[in-house]
Chain A
Amino acid sequence: MFSKRSRRAIGVAAAVVTAFGLAACGNGGSQAADGRVHVTFWQQKFEDYQQAWFKENVEAFNASQDEITVDLQVVPADTWEQKLQAAQAAGKQPDVATTNYGSIKPGVAEGKFAPLDELLPAEAFDDVKENVAPFVTVDDQHYAYPMLVEPSTVLYYRTDLAKEAGLDPDSPPETWDELLEWSKALTKGDVKGMTVASTAADLSWSSWGLQLNACGYLPIADDWSAGRATEPCFADLANFYKELYQEGLIPQQPKVAYADGQPYGEGEVAMMQGGSWVVGQLKNDFPDVVDKTMVAPFPSIDGDLTKTTATLGGWTLTLDSKSEAPEEAARFIEYLLAGDPEIMAGFFKETGYSKYTVRDSVDEVLADDPEASADPFMAVISDEIVPYGQAEPAYPYDIAMALGTALESAMKGTTDVDGALQTADDAINDVIDKQKLAGAATD
Chain B
Amino acid sequence: MSITADQQPRTMLGAAEAPAVKRSRPRDDLTAYLMIAPMVILLGIFVMWPLVYAFYLSGFEISFYQAPEFVGLQFYRYVLEDERFWASLGVGLYYAVLVVPAGMFVSLLIASFIKTLSVRMASFLKTTIYVPAVVSTVVASVLFVFIYQDQGLANWLLGLLNAGPVAWLNSPALALPAIAVPGIWLGLGLTTLIMLAGLLDIPDSYYESARLDGASFVQRTWYITLPLLKNVLLYLFVTGTVAALQMLDLPLIMTNGGPVNATTTPNLFIFNTFRDGSEYSVSFSLTAALLLFLVLGGISALVFRLISSEKAIDG
Pairing of A with B: yes
| A→B interface (CB under 8 Å) | 3, 5-6, 9, 12-13, 16-17, 20, 81-82, 84-85, 88-89, 93, 103, 106, 110-112, 190, 198-201, 251-255, 321-322, 396-398, 405, 408-409, 412, 414, 430, 434-435
Q: Are A89 and B45 in contact (CB under 8 A)?
A: no
| B→A interface (CB under 8 Å) | 26, 30, 33-34, 37-38, 41, 45, 63-66, 78, 82, 148-151, 165, 167-172, 256, 258-262, 271, 274-282
Query: What are 13 A-B contacts with C-beta separation under 8 Å?
Result: A82-B275, A111-B65, A199-B256, A251-B150, A252-B167, A252-B170, A253-B170, A255-B149, A321-B65, A398-B276, A412-B171, A434-B78, A435-B280
Residues of A with C-beta under 8 A to B33 = 9
Q: Are A9 and B30 in contact (CB under 8 A)?
A: yes
Q: Once the chains are docked, how many angstroms separate the CA of A5 from the CA of B34?
A: 10
Residues of A with C-beta under 8 A to B64 = 85, 88-89, 93
Q: Once the chains are docked, how many angstroms separate the CA of A9 from the CA of B276?
A: 45
Q: Which residue of B lies closest to A10 (CB)?
A: B37
Q: Which residue of B lies closest to A268 (CB)?
A: B150
Q: Which of B65, B66, B172, B275 contacts A81 (CB 8 A)?
A: B275
Q: Are B271 and A82 in contact (CB under 8 A)?
A: yes
Q: Are A408 and B259 in contact (CB under 8 A)?
A: yes
Q: Once the chains are docked, how many angstroms separate the CA of A89 from the CA of B277?
A: 12
Given contacts A199-B259, A405-B260, A412-B259, 12 further A-B contacts (CB under 8 A): A9-B37, A13-B37, A13-B41, A20-B45, A81-B274, A81-B276, A201-B256, A253-B149, A253-B150, A253-B170, A398-B278, A398-B281
Q: Once the chains are docked, how many angstroms separate the CA of A111 from the CA of B150?
A: 46
Q: Are A110 and B149 in contact (CB under 8 A)?
A: no
Instruction: Give the 5 A-B residue pairs with the shortest CB-CB distance, closest first.
Output: A81-B275, A111-B65, A252-B167, A88-B64, A82-B275
Q: Which of B45, B149, B167 contacts A17 (CB 8 A)?
A: B45
Residues of B with C-beta under 8 A to A396 = 276, 278, 280
B150 to chain A, nearest CB (A): 6
B73 to chain A, nearest CB (A): 14
Q: Which residue of A lies closest to B256 (CB)?
A: A201
Residues of B with C-beta under 8 A to A201 = 256, 258
Q: Are A405 and B261 in contact (CB under 8 A)?
A: yes
Residues of A with C-beta under 8 A to B34 = 9
B266 to chain A, nearest CB (A): 17
Q: Once the chains are docked, how many angstroms separate the CA of A201 from the CA of B260?
A: 10
Take A252-B170, A253-B167, A409-B260 as given contacts and tell me if A110 and B275 are in contact as well, using a CB distance cutoff of 8 Å.
Answer: no
Q: Which residue of A lies closest to B44 (CB)?
A: A17
Residues of B with C-beta under 8 A to A251 = 150
Q: Once the chains are docked, how many angstroms separate the CA of A155 from the CA of B164?
A: 30
Q: Are B278 and A397 in contact (CB under 8 A)?
A: yes
